[in-house]
Amino acid sequence: MSLLISSWIQFFFLFAPFFVVSMFLSLTRGCSAGERRATANRAVLAALVTALTLFFFGQPLFNILGITLDSFRVGAGVLLFLSAISLVKDGVRSHADVPEQSRDDVSVVPLAIPTIIGPATIGAILVIGAELNGWDTAWGLGGLLLALLCLLVLLHAAARIEKLLGSNGLNILSKITGLVLAAMACEIIVAGLRGFAATFN
């Protein structure tokens, strides 16, 4: 149960929910409530399919490419750290303006990919999925599903959240998410370096 909760929190921050909410609001500006709900549903469904594929096929992919888990930990951790720095530095403001022509069909691209499932998120999901075995995989999967469910709830409540927090509130929460992601990235990098060190001892 503790693994379920920790996985849920880990994936929740990994998806950078408040940044996603801000992008969702920008991309669906002018849409009706029904259109926003439909867009949110399609985006989370697309993110779910992508995340499940990454979660279950990480280790076979490493084997095919001849990449060790530890080396991928370091690479994914560095990429996640850079993403975290971007969130802390820029928050949501630098990503808030979206050209009108890109708003025709936004549920899959750019909302699901690369906003919810970006390069850094892809690497982290591959690492987490490859690390888990046996029943731990089920708990980790449960955490992933819970995190996406929470994200869906936030997207459905995006307009209310914007009224409650305002753009500054979303920006602050996005920066806090960036700090948490930076810490997660450091943990992933350190785990990879420890694995490398163990092979030389």
Q: Which two tokens stand for residue 116?
A: 């919810």
Q: What pLDDT sits at residue 61?
A: 87
pTM for the model? 0.90
- pLDDT, residue 104, reads 57
Between CA 153 and CA 150 the distance in angstroms is 5
CB atoms within 10 A of CB 193: 14
- Residues 84-134 have pLDDT tens digits of 999 998 866 444 444 454 445 799 999 999 999 999 999 999 999 999 999
Confidence of residue 1 (pLDDT cuts 50, 70, 90): confident
> Taking a C-beta distance cutoff of 8 angstroms, is the pair 92, 18 a contact?
yes
Query: Per-residue pLDDT tens for 19-48?
Result: 999 999 999 988 999 999 999 999 999 999
Q: Distance between CA 53 and CA 42 in Å, rounded?
A: 17
At residue 65, the pLDDT reads 87
